[in-house]
A = this chain, B = another copy of it.
Amino acid sequence: MIIGFIGFGKVSQNLMNLIKSHDITFISSFEGRSQKTIEKIKESKVDVLDTFKEVAIASDILISANSPKNALEVAKDYGKYAKGIYLDLNNISPNTTFEISKYVPNLVDGAIIGKIDSDNPILYLSGKSADKLMFLNEFIDVRKISDNIGDAAILKLLRSTYTKTLSALLIESSQIASEYNLEEEFFDVLSLTEGDEFREKSLSRINNTLNNSKRKCEELEEIISYFDSSDLTMVKAALKKLNQ
């Protein structure tokens, strides 16, 4: 079996490290890549073809793991050559996934949850052809959501809906606690029900959100725009809170 990579960042590299099998050959290309990526590819056990078109044609599974803004272009350029499965692992919105599906016959929509460079990331898949990827369970925890393209991307957005709104709540409630000089006790008292790691985890979420508030707001706007037929009272409040 041949697995081809378009994009050779962390996701591709770590997937390759996790999928340890003598029956699988990995391929990619230097075409248009930066010197740094070329070095990474050279250091790895990847077979190098001249072009990504050749990679797409030769692969049983073609994995697209690029930056979100390149995902659609890559799909348009190479999706049509993929005779096997085209697995999109880019961190893209459901709408981009739907757009991609127009150009890619055998699309599988994937979301990696948890740190990809940890030992146990989980790969959620959706799309009819996902069944054919379940053999990867031998190497990585793979869970098929449904036959519907887009469900993996929607699941990522739902996760994000919760975690980003939660961060806004943590910011607000810890702010009030600190106004009353009870911030320590606030985390202390909640650790009793929310778990021992509550303080550490919450402070990390608060700092991460405050330090990246512009991006977090954009992501909340994307959530609001995608789920616009749902009630979004809490999510909209989170956006307002972070915009302050």
Contacts and interface: CB of A to CB of B under 8 A. Distances in A.
Interface in A29-84: none
Main secondary structure of the interface of A (DSSP, over half): helix
A114 B189 CA distance: 9
Interface string A115-156: 000000010100000000000000000010110000100110
B233 A189 contact: no
Contact of A241 (B166, B180, B233, B240): B233
Contact of A169 (B122, B166, B188): B166
B114 A168 contact: no
Contacts of A177: 158
A119 to B, nearest CB: 13
A185 B156 CA distance: 10
Number of copies: 2
Interface stretch (A95-103, A211-219, A224-232): A224-232
A180 B161 contact: no
Given A122-B192, A154-B180, A168 B234 contact: yes
Interface residues of A, number: 51
Given A182-B145, A185-B145, A230 B169 contact: no
A206 interface: no
Nearest to A237: B237
Contacts of A232: 172, 176
Contact of A182 (B155, B165, B231): B155
A173 B179 contact: no
